Structures are given as structure tokens and as C-alpha cells.
Amino acid sequence: FPIGGYVKMVDTREGEVAPEDLPVAFDKQHPLKRIAVVLAGPFTNLILAVLLYWFSFGVGGITQIRPYVGTVEKGSIAAQAGFQQGDKIISVNGKPVNNFSDAYTEIVLDLETGKINVQVENAQGQPENRIVDAAGTQQATDVAKRKIGLGISPVKVSNTIGEVRPNTPAQRAGLQKGDQIIAINNQAMPTWEAWSQIIRENPNRSLKIQYLRQGKEYDTQITPSAEGRI
């Protein structure tokens, strides 16, 4: 244990030893016993390392995100391939995947090799294929340079507001954390993607926002910034 301690063994070669300590002096022990004493420390450290490793991985485990599609960005490579919310990715070009990270990585690595056959189970549990065909496109180049992603995420984004920053259109409109957006200009907005898309497409235009707060429905007017943000 790294607690800064040091234990010096009794040894007549290192200085005077009291008569009563001579029987336990290190240099007076049988050679096999001395070998055992010398090896005890490193062996204990090795066993401790193995136990800690087992505990961290075997007991604590490694959190892996299951290969389910939560959101698909409009116009992205994933959207063009036909990915749908609720898809469970089974394999990429015949290679089985067990978590979302592996599935995503396999698609990115194969992006410039040609068409990629991604086998999925849709939200209804039916097997389907999603064909990623982006080789040679600017989108594939941008993905390789990490300018953009595939447009696929394992997280289903809620249409509930998580934070309202000060001095923003959202704050001026009276929106609060926890408000659930249900419609814009009387058009239902079932997902955050749909809501954010409308916001981006209407900079500097007043929009009627309908939302729920503690179970009650309200509405307000909001004008997105010139950058299409609120």
C-alpha cells in the first residue's frame, strides 16, 4: 500500500543487533525462509493488483450503451441510409456488434470502402437492412475529419427543456426548466428534433410556442435569434 512506510529487517550485517533479537535476524534464517520473505512483498502486490482488477471489471463492470438508435439527424448519412428511431443494430457488414460504440466505429471505419450493410431489428422487432452508401461524398470526408458525425445517437432526446440560459429568447419568452414543448404555431412537435428544426429554420421570426408546465397548457411568443437559436 502506498502509505509511505518502510520496514527495515533485523540484520546483523546492517548494524548491531540486541541478543534477544538474534533468533529473528534475517541473515540468521534458513535460505529458503529468506527467499520466501523477499518474495512475499512483490507476490502480495501482484495478488492485490489481480483482486482490484477483478473487482473493478468483474464486480463494478463496464457500462456499455446497447446498440439501439435513439435519434437520427435529418439529412445525415444515417438518415439517408434509412435508420429509424428504435432500430437495434445487430451487425455491420456481417460483423456482430454488442454495443452502440462498436457499431458506430465499424460504420465509420468502413465508410469509404463502399456500401455498408447494417443489419438491424426495427422497433417492431422485424429484421431489416440499412445500406450506408456515402463513399466518396463530402459527408464521408467530414466524418473522417470529425467535422460531423454519422447523424445517429443512442440517446432519445426529450422535448422537455433542461435549462434556460439568461438573456436568451427562451428566457424572455418566459420558458422555464421542465417545460415540455408540445406545439409550434399549432403544429404538434412530438420530438425535440422536430422542435429544434423549426427553430433553426425561422431566425428572427415570431413563433407561437405551446407547452406544458406542471400538467397545465400555456402558450407564448418567441423569436429565435439570427443564428436560429433560442
Q: What is the pLDDT of residue 93?
A: 95
For the residues 17-36, what does the mean pLDDT come to?
Answer: 74
pLDDT band at 116 (very low <50, low <70, confident <90, very high): very high
All domains of the chain, ordered by start, with CATH? 12-59 (no CATH), 71-153 (2.30.42.10), 169-222 (2.30.42.10)
List helix spans (H) across the chain.
31-54, 77-80, 100-109, 138-144, 169-172, 192-200
At 200-227, the pLDDT tens digits run: 888 888 989 898 888 889 999 988 888 8
At 50-66, the pLDDT tens digits run: 887 776 655 544 557 88
Residue 91 in this model has a pLDDT that exceeds 70: yes
Longest dimension (CA), the chain: 97
For the residues 115-136, what does the mean pLDDT come to?
Answer: 93
Place of cell 397548457: 217
Nearest Cα neighbor of 71 from 184, 190, 207 is: 190
Contacts for 113 with CB less than 8 Å, ≥ 6 apart: 135
Confidence (pTM)? 0.48
Query: What gap in Å lies between CA 230 and CA 61, rounded to an integer?
Result: 40
